[in-house]
Amino acid sequence: MDRRPRNHEAAYVPWLAYIVQHLRDLARLRRVRDRIDREYAQALDVEALARGAYMSAGHFSREFRRAYGESPYGYLMTRRIERAMALLRRGDLSVTEVCFAVGCSSLGTFSSRFTELVGVPPSVYRRQAARATAGMPSCVAKQVSRPIRNREAPAPEPHL
């Protein structure tokens, strides 16, 4: 029996190779995302993360955004802000201590990004969250106060 590929079978070979490669890339991206979740407080840069996925930095950034809806840096900052929110709810650390505890090296960048995602500055959040989540189990408080992902908090209305 002749098993040479027929014309219609040969057309599927490139697609199959593409699908296999795409699935491998998704597995690598998932491992990198898991690394970000575990090591959010470490100094992570896109180039190092891309090397872990065996991709160039540009390709890694594009594929990560396509898979998860935001850039690797945006995902990392969202993880850091989520952790910062939990630390600020505890109330025993200052905003500066929280900033450095979650891996940010600039208080200004941390405060700006926190305000973009949460809608209020970290110092205001610390005061408000302590009252709002008093007596609430921490697992419930985390879900209730989760930051908005993939879109920024609504801008405050201007005072006229």
Rounded average pLDDT over 62-89: 94
Kindly report, residue by residue over 131-158, the tens digit of the pLDDT. 766 677 777 766 666 665 544 445 555 5
Rounded to a whole number of angstroms, the distance between the first and last alpha carbons of the chain is: 84
- Write the pLDDT tens digit of every residue in 4-40: 556 555 556 677 888 888 899 999 999 999 999 999 9
Q: What tens digit of pLDDT does each residue of 79-128 get?
A: 999 999 999 988 889 999 999 999 999 999 999 999 999 999 999 999 88
- Give the containing element (helix H, strand E) for 43: none
* Ramachandran angles phi, psi of 4, nearest 5°: -65, 140
Percent of the chain with pLDDT over 70: 77
The pLDDT assigned to 7 comes to: 59
Among 93, 84, 98, 105, which Cα is nearest to 42's? 105
pLDDT at res. 148: 56
In angstroms, the Cα distances linking 156 to 32, 87, 95 are 35, 25, 22
| pTM of the predicted model as reported, rounded to 2 decimal places | 0.73
